[in-house]
Homo-oligomer: A and B are copies of this chain.
């Protein structure tokens, strides 16, 4: 390649991302400045939280500015370097953005982690990257799930949810997923070993939770918010914990949707609902990656990845997260 294609945020989405939200531009392949390295990007990570980054409002990261490269996790290989920490040939991952070549280190403002030789980049971006690490700290630190407890995971067939539930099984929890469609539910139970999975598209999530968790929910790992959070609140055990990881059901609403009617259950059931952002756990990423790696090597965790081909597919592929078309972690292969 002789040029660096980059996808910019051109317009803020009102509801779902549309074609006009993005613009593809070509730039020269960058040269590394002092202390910098240039990474050829090979995979983009697509994550629900990216919809929030496109909003013009303060959040845990500043909004992506119009005209800037779309922010996103990615992994690739160093092709030029003025930084001994990023040797040519090394694989790295970080918030490299939607571009074919990214500058890291030095004054670039972009940090990337070097990956072990021979690691699968897709595994790195999913299981050992923010997806797996989110599941890890969500279940263990925020949810404090323990052996014998009932863990319910929404978005169970998604990247984070599918790993969160498997971690629950490793801990000795009874794990009940909530996912959209029979096929996803079957995968979650038959392949990942969840004890049960509720198809929310059949309706009646409350009754299904009552049946699947007759003694109530100890830990609810919430990726979706909305009506499913509402149903979970009604079925929590006293002193249960709600891991507020994401609320994807509301991400594409032009206006903030109403909150759960059962929120008063937080008082009467003495619940703890706690939000977290995986970035806060940065100093502990190695701990999580190591443990997840060992579990994967022992065959205790499966990592399913939905790969979409071609850099230019990213703008449409990201909506698959919101329509539920992906199963497992969604990535784009450049």
The stretch of A167-175, A241-249, A283-291 in contact with B is A241-249
**Residue from the list B246, B255, B257, B272 in contact with A273, Cβ < 8 A:** B272
A269 on interface, CB distance cutoff 8 Å: yes
Q: Is the CB of A275 within 8 A of B280?
A: no
In the assembled complex, which residues on chain B have CB atoms less than 8 Å from the CB atom of A180?
none
**Distance between Cα atoms of A177 and B267 in the complex (Å):** 21
Q: Is the CB of B272 within 8 A of A277?
A: no
Question: Using a CB-CB cutoff of 8 Å, which residues 254-272 of chain A contact chain B?
Answer: 255-272
- The smallest C-beta distance from A220 to any residue of chain B, in angstroms, reads 13
**Distance between Cα atoms of A129 and B282 in the complex (Å):** 45
The residue in A245, A266, A280 that gathers the most chain B C-beta atoms within 10 A of its C-beta is A266
Copies assembled? 2
Interface size class of A (residues with CB under 8 A): 35 or more
- The smallest C-beta distance from A53 to any residue of chain B, in angstroms, reads 11
Extra A-B contacts (17), CB below 8 Å, given A266-B274, A267-B277: A59-B268, A225-B264, A244-B266, A246-B267, A255-B261, A258-B259, A258-B261, A259-B262, A266-B273, A268-B277, A270-B274, A270-B275, A270-B280, A271-B274, A271-B275, A272-B272, A272-B274
In the assembled complex, which residues on chain B have CB atoms less than 8 Å from the CB atom of A263?
225, 247, 259-260, 263
Q: Is the CB of A264 within 8 A of B256?
A: yes
**Distance between Cα atoms of A275 and B59 in the complex (Å):** 25
In the assembled complex, which residues on chain B have CB atoms less than 8 Å from the CB atom of A35?
none
Can you name the residue of chain B whose Cβ is closest to the Cβ of A230? B259
In the assembled complex, which residues on chain B have CB atoms less than 8 Å from the CB atom of A272?
272-275
A322 on interface, CB distance cutoff 8 Å: no
